[in-house]
Amino acid sequence: MAAATIYFYIPKQVTILDLAGVLEVFQEAKNLGLLYTLKFISSNPVITSSSGLELSSVTHFSKAHPKENDIIVISGFSSGQINKITEDIVFFEWLEKANSLQTTIASICNGAFILAKSGLLDFKECTTHWKLIEKFKKDFPLLKVQSNTLYTKADNLYTSAGIVTGIDLALFLIEERHGKEVAVTIARELVVYKRRQGSDQQESVYLQNRNHRDEKIHIVQDWIIYNLEKTSTIDFLADLVHIGPRNLTRIFKKKTGVTIAEYRTKLRIEKSKSLLIHSDYKIENIAHLCGYKTSKQLRVVLETHLHELPTEIKNRLS
C-alpha cells in the first residue's frame, strides 16, 4: 500500500492514553516497515493534557494537507471540557475538506463530540464512551448513536468508545489496509491480550455481574472463569466457600442478578467467540475448551445468539 501520513489532532485537555494508544499501534506498524509518517497537529502551539503534562512543538492544523490515503485521528479529552469545545469554523472547514477527499477520519472516546460538532457524523452510525452516550444523543439528535459497541465505521468515518478501544480501532484500521496477519503481529508486540471486534460490548463480560462486595460469590465467579472447561455441580461450588448449596444459589442470584448457570453460559459464549475468531482450533476442540461435550451443544447455544455474532463466526458455524 502507498505511503500515508497519520495526523494526530490534539485537543485541549487531551487524555494522554487516548493519544498514546493509537500512536503506539502506528509506531509499531512503522517498525514493521510500513510506510507511515506520524504528525501532530492542533489548534494551539502548546497543549496542556488532562493530567497536566504539556505538549509543545505541535503544528497548526492549517499547515497540514491530508490526502485520500491519510488518516486523521481526533483524540479524546477531559470530560470536564465536553461543554467547552473550542474548535471553530476554520477547523471544521479544514476537516470537511479532508472528508471530501475521502481521508480516513477517526475519533477516540469523546473526540467524537468534536467530530459530531463538525456535522460530518449527521445521519451516520457512531459511538463514544458509554457514560456519555445519552448526552451524545441529546446534543446531536441527527446521529445514529450505537450503544455498547467498541467502534463504528461509516464510510471513511470511524468512532471508538473510549481510551483502550482506540487501540482496537487502530488495529482494525491496520487490518483493513494490510491484512489480519499484520494486525495480529502488532497486537502481539503491544502485548494486547486479544483483539476485540467493533461489535463487542464496551464492558467486558468478565466484569459484568460483579458489582457487589460478597467475597464468597467473587470466589465462585473466579473459579468458574478459570475452569470453564470443567463440569461443576452446585454442591462442589458450595463446598468451595463453605455454605449450603441452596443458600449459594439464592445468594448468587441476589448479588449478581443471574443464576450460576446463566453466568457460566455467558462466559462460555464469550470464550467460544474469542476462540472462533482468534484461533484455528476445530469447533469440536473449542466446544471442549468451553465445557461442552459436543460441538452440537456449542452450536445450539451460539445459534440462540446468532443475531449478535460477527459475520466471521457465522461463517465458521455454517
Cβ density class 262-294: b for 16+ within 10 Å, e for less: ebbbbbbbbbbbbbbbeeeeebeebbbbbbbee
**Across residues 20-47, what is the average pLDDT?**
95
pLDDT in tens, 118-169: 999 999 999 999 889 999 999 999 999 988 788 899 999 999 987 778 898 9
Contacting residues for 137 by C-beta, under 8 A, at least 6 apart: 143, 145
The residue type found at 294 is T
Residues 222, 182: Cα–Cα separation, whole Å: 34
Residues 198, 154: Cα–Cα separation, whole Å: 12
- CB count, 10 Å around CB of 28? 21
Per-residue CA distances from 141 to 119, 124, 133 (Å): 11, 11, 12
Query: Is the pLDDT reported for residue 311 higher than 80?
Result: no
pLDDT in tens, 57-68: 899 999 999 999
Identify the sign of the CA torsion 112, 117, 119, 122. positive
pLDDT in tens, 78-132: 988 999 999 999 999 999 999 999 999 999 999 999 999 999 999 999 999 988 9
Query: Is the pLDDT reported for residue 254 higher than 80?
Result: yes
Cβ density class 54-82: b for 16+ within 10 Å, e for less: ebeebeebeebebeebbbbbbbbbbbebe
pLDDT in tens, 179-218: 878 887 888 788 664 445 544 454 456 667 777 888 899 8
Residues 184, 175: Cα–Cα separation, whole Å: 8
> Is the distance from CB of 90 to CB of 62 less than 8 angstroms?
yes
pTM over 0.85: no
User: Which residue has 450505537 as its cell numbers?
Assistant: 146
pLDDT in tens, 24-34: 999 999 999 99
